[in-house]
Amino acid sequence: MKCEKCMAVIALDSKFCPNCGEKVQMFTEGINGNEISIEWLIDLFKKLAFEIELNSNGNSFLAKHKESYDFDVNLNKSLKVITIGSHLSMKQKNISDMNKLQDAVAKANSLSCLGIFSLSDNNKLLNIVTHINLTELIIERDIVVYLDIFEKSIKHIMDNLGIMKI
């Protein structure tokens, strides 16, 4: 993201701009896990420039982004969990590529303090899914950083391996 004062590009987890010292105000809103709503999640993904397609059940939506993979976002209030999933297809699957992807997922998990990424495959379909437990306080930035980890750790590997969104 960019500093609102000097427009320097700064890390998503910055609290202050390393260039001008401005306090970072974006994505600082927090919400109690018990009070989280699908609307809160939709607002957050919209701020991140995703297009939203709400599913008819009202508890989940598809978040689409021109420059990224799509995410299925689901809020299960009774289980107190948010799941964020990407469903992908791989042209030709081989052990070496799958190992690279497993390594990328493991690396992402070592960086994430919020949710754990898991990889499953079903013929040509790959699913990368994360469960985020609704703890007492969820800060927007936690989810933003989480998506950033996906972007940095997993997406470029998927791009290299010719994995496409479906």
Binding site for Zn ion (CB under 5 A): 3, 5-6, 8, 17, 19-20, 22
Kindly state the helix (H) or strand (E) to which residue 43 belongs, with its residue range.
helix 38-47
Are 62 and 52 contacting, i.e. CB atoms less than 8 angstroms apart?
A: yes
Residue 106 Cβ vs Zn ion, minimum distance, rounded to whole Å = 34
Longest dimension (CA), the chain: 50
- Dig out the tokens for 101 from the structure: 């992807």
CB of 6 to Zn ion, least distance (A): 3
Q: Please, are residues 20 and 10 in contact by the beta-carbon 8 Å criterion? A: no
Min separation Cβ 1 and Zn ion, Å: 11
